[in-house]
């Protein structure tokens, strides 16, 4: 019997990539249930309850969230903790009440302590203080992991959690202030080339290191984890480790990233640092061996991924998302 999947956040970068991947894998469009934010506000408990009771999907992929880069997290902490706590609590609890057996929750690499040993293993969770610039968001994401784990333990559900590293790709948010670093730099370097600006400013010292996974790889990994048989998933997430890291296993400095974006966009001017802006976590490289041991590895390299994303950005000039 076909499996009807509620894909929450289908208009977002990850949700859009998962939607494309499901269709590419042969899922009939009719089996992929979607609702826009305007049609179903996932922070509204009654609305989510009514939707889940009416539709009773067989599975849920929760790719909806309040998402943003270091500036957005640092500026809107109440929005980030409240919206994400409400969305995950509503979707996970109402999925349980509607008898949904299979759910995938997307967390984030920022759940790990700011000074966790690198690369960060899944069992580093809750072993130290978090990075202040995104602690509210991280606390909400940790709560999401614990929600899934608790419904699995108490109700025998099969609710799984994946922890993506920094993501980028088509469909990203290109807001000049609220976006993540890759879309922000693609836009800024592109505009400098268009206007003949002699220099581009990047935030912070340029020394922090980040791991960047293309969103199409993330979509493939999400469905891979979702389709794992339960015994394999449980065997690889013990003891009490109900989440799996998803990344490339390699990182670059922000200065190296800026150089790559300059090369891809053809910018030949100066790159300067605005050290009045926060660096955030010095490094957050994920240990991706658990997922590799289960048979999945990232395929899209950063240079190629940035070039492909830049092509997408230019092809969608004037209509890219900025929120």
Ligand X SMILES: C[C@H]1O[C@H](OP(=O)(O)OP(=O)(O)OC[C@H]2O[C@@H](n3cnc4c(=O)[nH]c(N)nc43)[C@H](O)[C@@H]2O)[C@@H](O)[C@@H](O)C1=O
Active-site positions read 137
What distance in Å separates the CA atoms of residue 69 and residue 134, rounded to the nearest whole number? 9
What distance in Å separates the CA atoms of residue 257 and residue 259, rounded to the nearest whole number? 5
Tokens of 224: 């891979």
Q: Which residues bind ligand NDP (CB under 6 A)?
A: 9, 11-15, 37, 41-43, 63-67, 83, 87, 106, 108, 164, 166-167, 173, 180, 323
Residue 208 interacts with ligand X (CB under 6 A): yes or no: yes
Q: How far is the CB of 109 from ligand X (least distance, A)?
A: 6
3-state secondary structure of 214: strand
Query: Per CB under 6 A, which region of 31-39, 150-158, 179-187, 237-245 contacts ligand X?
Result: 179-187
Residue 166 interacts with ligand X (CB under 6 A): yes or no: yes
What distance in Å separates the CA atoms of residue 323 and residue 76, rounded to the nearest whole number? 13
Tokens of 227: 């389709």
Q: 123 vs 274, which CB is nearer to ligand X?
A: 274
Tokens of 183: 């879309």
β-bridge pairing 158-164 and 102-106: parallel
Positions in 138-157 near ligand X (CB under 6 A): none
What distance in Å separates the CA atoms of residue 102 and residue 60, rounded to the nearest whole number? 6
3-state secondary structure of 298: coil
DSSP structural state of residue 240: T
Q: Which does 118 bind (CB under 5 to 8 A by kind): ligand NDP, ligand X, none?
A: none
Q: Which does 66 bind (CB under 5 to 8 A by kind): ligand X, ligand NDP, none?
A: ligand NDP
Residue 204 interacts with ligand X (CB under 6 A): yes or no: yes
Q: Which does 41 bind (CB under 5 to 8 A by kind): ligand NDP, ligand X, none?
A: ligand NDP
Q: How far is the CB of 254 from ligand X (least distance, A)?
A: 5
- How many CA atoms lie within 13 Å of 186's alpha carbon, on the beta-carbon side? 25
Question: How many residues sit in the footprint of ligand X (CB under 6 A)?
Answer: 26
DSSP structural state of residue 178: T
In the list 84, 94, 134, 245, the residue contacting ligand X (rule: CB under 6 A) is 134
What distance in Å separates the CA atoms of residue 62 and residue 6, rounded to the nearest whole number? 8
Q: How far is the CB of 271 from ligand NDP (least distance, A)?
A: 22
Q: How far is the CB of 302 from ligand X (least distance, A)?
A: 14
Q: Which does 12 bind (CB under 5 to 8 A by kind): ligand NDP, ligand X, none?
A: ligand NDP
Cα 38 to the center of its chain, rounded Å: 21
Query: SS3 letters for 51-71?
Result: HHHHHCCCEEEECCCCCCCHH
Q: How far is the CB of 63 from ligand NDP (least distance, A)?
A: 5
In the list 51, 203, 267, 296, the residue contacting ligand X (rule: CB under 6 A) is 203
Contact between 22 and 5 under an 8 Å Cβ cutoff? The reply is yes
Question: Which residues participate in the annotated binding site for substrate?
Answer: 188, 203, 210, 279
Contact between 209 and 282 under an 8 Å Cβ cutoff? The reply is yes
Q: 96 vs 187, which CB is nearer to ligand X?
A: 187
In the list 59, 202, 213, 223, the residue contacting ligand X (rule: CB under 6 A) is 202
**What does residue 216 show for φ and ψ, rounded to 5 degrees?**
-70, -35
Residues that bind ligand X (CB under 6 A): 68-71, 73, 108, 110, 134, 137, 166, 179-181, 184-185, 202-204, 208, 210, 254, 277-281
């Amino acid at each position: 019997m076909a499996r009807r999947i509620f894909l929450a956040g289908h208009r977002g970068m990850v949700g859009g990539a998962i939607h494309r991947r499901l269709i590419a894998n042969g899922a009939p469009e009719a089996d992929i249930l979607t609702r826009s934010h305007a049609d179903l506000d996932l922070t509204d408990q009654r609305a989510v309850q009514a939707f889940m009771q009416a539709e009773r999907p067989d599975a849920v992929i929760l790719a909806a969230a309040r998402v943003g880069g270091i500036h957005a997290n640092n500026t809107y902490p109440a929005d980030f903790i409240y919206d994400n706590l409400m969305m995950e609590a509503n979707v996970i609890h109402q999925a349980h009440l509607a008898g949904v057996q299979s759910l995938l929750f997307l967390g984030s690499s920022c759940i790990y302590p700011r000074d966790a040993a690198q690369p960060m293993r899944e069992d580093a969770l809750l072993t130290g203080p978090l990075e202040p610039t995104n602690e509210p968001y991280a606390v909400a994401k940790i709560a999401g992991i614990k929600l899934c784990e608790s419904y699995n333990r108490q109700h025998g559900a099969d609710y799984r959690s994946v922890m993506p590293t920094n993501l980028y790709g088509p469909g990203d948010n290109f807001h000049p202030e609220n976006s993540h670093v890759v879309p922000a730099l693609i836009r800024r370097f592109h505009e400098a080339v268009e206007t003949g600006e002699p220099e581009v400013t990047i935030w912070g010292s340029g020394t922090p290191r980040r791991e960047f996974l293309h969103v199409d790889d993330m979509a493939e990994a999400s469905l891979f984890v979702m389709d794992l048989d339960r015994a394999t998933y449980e065997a690889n997430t013990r003891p009490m480790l109900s989440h799996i890291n998803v990344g490339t296993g390699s990182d670059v400095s922000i200065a190296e990233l800026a150089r790559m974006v300059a090369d891809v966009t053809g910018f030949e001017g100066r790159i300067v640092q605005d050290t009045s802006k926060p660096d955030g976590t010095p490094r957050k490289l994920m240990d991706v061996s658990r997922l590799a041991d289960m048979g999945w590895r990232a395929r899209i390299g950063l240079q190629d991924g940035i070039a492909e994303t830049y092509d997408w950005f230019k092809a969608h000039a004037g209509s890219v998302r900025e929120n």
